[in-house]
A = this chain, B = another copy of it.
Amino acid sequence: MSRQDGRAPDQLRPVKITRGWISHAEGSVLVEFGGTRVLCAASVQDSVPRWRRGSGQGWVTAEYAMLPRATNTRNDRESVKGKIGGRTHEISRLIGRSLRACVDYKALGENSIVLDCDVLQADGGTRTAAITGAYVALADAVAWMRARKMCPGDPLVDSVAAVSVGVVKSTPMLDLCYVEDVAAETDMNVVMTGSGAFVEVQGTAEGAPFDRRALDELLDLAVAGCEELTLHQQEALGR
């Protein structure tokens, strides 16, 4: 079963995590999953949203976007259209929820961290690359805060990574690139903690509905993929 770029079905694309890619942010990472390139910037704010004030607890949120020419044909800017599309909303919410799974709000204190994930070049798996990279940016921002004694404790209770899996021409495959994603009958995004538990499982029958066995095979691939991505994150962080 050969893939267009010669990978084995259970093989990730080359992963590259570059820390400190922009100078202003408290944490910043350029993450690459093959041709997918996402710039993740973590911004620390010493305040929390209104509904959170006085709770002694912090907040983590995320915004995802694509540059107009990250894709093969140009997309109009959402700022020009004057509204954010459903897909953008959905992915921003997913990234935020995923990262909050490894955060202890009390240890963070009444501070916020915003994770901006901007896709500079897209080749499938942009949301999973964003989550994987954003965790590293988050870790750097947390280190920055702790060096300044902004947090009452250690807000990071685990790590988080994500990968896409899918059934392409009846074969379950790991980390789909764009052409595989388009051809996939079933597509699943899986977010896991470094300790091996699930944070999100989002499976969608793009073509035909799928049975329990396909679901299980995809989960097996994803578990292995997330483990490998966790190692990449640890290595990038020098652990």
Q: Which residues of A contact B (CB under 8 A)?
A: 22-25, 28, 35, 37, 39, 41, 43, 45, 63, 65, 67-74, 77-90, 92-93, 97, 101, 114, 116, 118, 120-122, 158, 188, 192-193, 195-205, 208-212, 215, 219, 223
- Nearest CB on B from A23, distance (A): 6
Contact check, A92 vs B86: say whether CB atoms are below 8 A apart. yes
CA distance A78 to B83 in the complex (A): 9
Contact check, B63 vs A68: say whether CB atoms are below 8 A apart. yes
The chain B residue with its CB closest to the CB of A190 is: B203
* Chain copies in the assembled complex: 6
Contact check, A22 vs B120: say whether CB atoms are below 8 A apart. yes
Residues from chain B with Cβ under 8 Å of A203 in the complex: 198, 200-202
Check A70/B22 contact, CB under 8 A, given A199-B205, A209-B197. yes
Contact check, B101 vs A205: say whether CB atoms are below 8 A apart. yes
CA distance A24 to B120 in the complex (A): 10
Contact check, A71 vs B24: say whether CB atoms are below 8 A apart. yes
Residues from chain B with Cβ under 8 Å of A83 in the complex: 79, 82-84
Contact check, A118 vs B67: say whether CB atoms are below 8 A apart. yes
Q: Which of B41, B80, B89 contacts A69 (CB 8 A)?
A: B41
A-B interface, 10 closest residue pairs, ranked by CB to CB distance from nearest: A197-B209, A86-B89, A78-B79, A41-B69, A43-B74, A79-B79, A201-B203, A25-B69, A90-B90, A89-B89
